[in-house]
Amino acid sequence: MTQKKLKIKKGDDVIVIAGKDKGKKGSVLSVIRDNDRVVVAGVNMIKRHQRAGAGGPGGIVEKEASLHISNVALVDPKEGKATRVGYKTLNDGKKVRVARRSGETFSS
């Protein structure tokens, strides 16, 4: 089975466009391809009760939960607003992602 082609990658700057954290910006920490979800730094924070063990002390730990990929959009590198993603082939044959809003290419 082939993996899904997602337009958002680890390390991208995204903005939340729906849900309780709408309007917040952050960097993508991980992409969960099987469920079409992403984990964004500082967004969708939850509290988990953790038992003490070899990993460290116990207590209430706050961490990021995943968001559905449809609830986030890439941030336009030029304007800083939400944008859709397009693709363009450069002269050297390399395929790059571009912002539909401004036409700028995304780094990475």
Mean pLDDT by 10 residues, the chain (108 residues): 83 95 96 94 94 87 94 93 93 92 83
- Given this model, what pLDDT does residue 1 score? 60
Spatial CB neighbours of 47, under 8 Å, sequence gap ≥ 6: 60, 61, 62
Q: What is the pTM of this model?
A: 0.85
Q: What is the secondary structure of 8-63 as a DSSP string?
A: --TT-EEEE-SSTTTT-EEEEEEEEGGGTEEEETTSSEEEEEE--BTTB--EEEEE
Place of tokens 């944008």: 83
Residue 7: CB atoms within 10 Å: 14
